[in-house]
Amino acid sequence: MKRDSRLSSVLHALLHMAERGEPMTSETLAACMCTNPVVVRRTMGLLRDAGLVASARGPSGGWQIVADLNAVSLRDLYDALGEPTVFAIGNRHEAPQCLVEQAVNAALDDAFADAEALLLDRLGKITLARLSADFNRRHAAHRSRA
């Protein structure tokens, strides 16, 4: 099954944006995210609605981070993206009145709910600032190797 990599992609874009100070166009971001400018606008538009980035039209326009990197967690990004479905595995809902289906789904729902809670909790504890620091650490290590 194909997986939704928007969270990963958006993080990629945001870290690149954090490195630069100035606005980046949808076109530039699309190139760096291996996708299409329109897709970038749609996705970044969600982050803008959540107050994480700002967009400006016209020459010298583009996208820029406006939030404090320390205050933005991956959970915030997940929420901004519309809380996309976490699991690729789900319940059947063909026969809601079937007692077999009810027993099965009740058991599965519990397990999935707990795992989802754990995941979102973890995402809530990872900030953009930490990822940026992690990137800079890797960058330094990389340069010292060369």
20 binds, among a second copy, DNA, none (CB under 5 to 8 A by kind): none
Does 115 sit near DNA (CB under 7 A)?
Answer: no
Rounded CA-CA distance 80/75 in Å is 8
Does 143 sit near DNA (CB under 7 A)?
Answer: no
First to last CA, the chain: 39
Residues 41-70 contacting DNA, CB under 7 A: 41-42, 44-45, 48, 55-63
116 binds, among DNA, a second copy, none (CB under 5 to 8 A by kind): a second copy
User: If you search the block for the tokens 């194909």, which residue do you land on?
Assistant: 2
**CB-count exposure of residue 44 (10 Å: 0-12, 13-18, 19+):** buried
Stretch that binds DNA, among 31-39, 69-77, 116-124, 134-142 (CB under 7 A): 31-39
23: β partners: none
List interacting residues with DNA (CB under 7 A). 1-2, 4-6, 25-27, 34-39, 41-42, 44-45, 48, 55-63
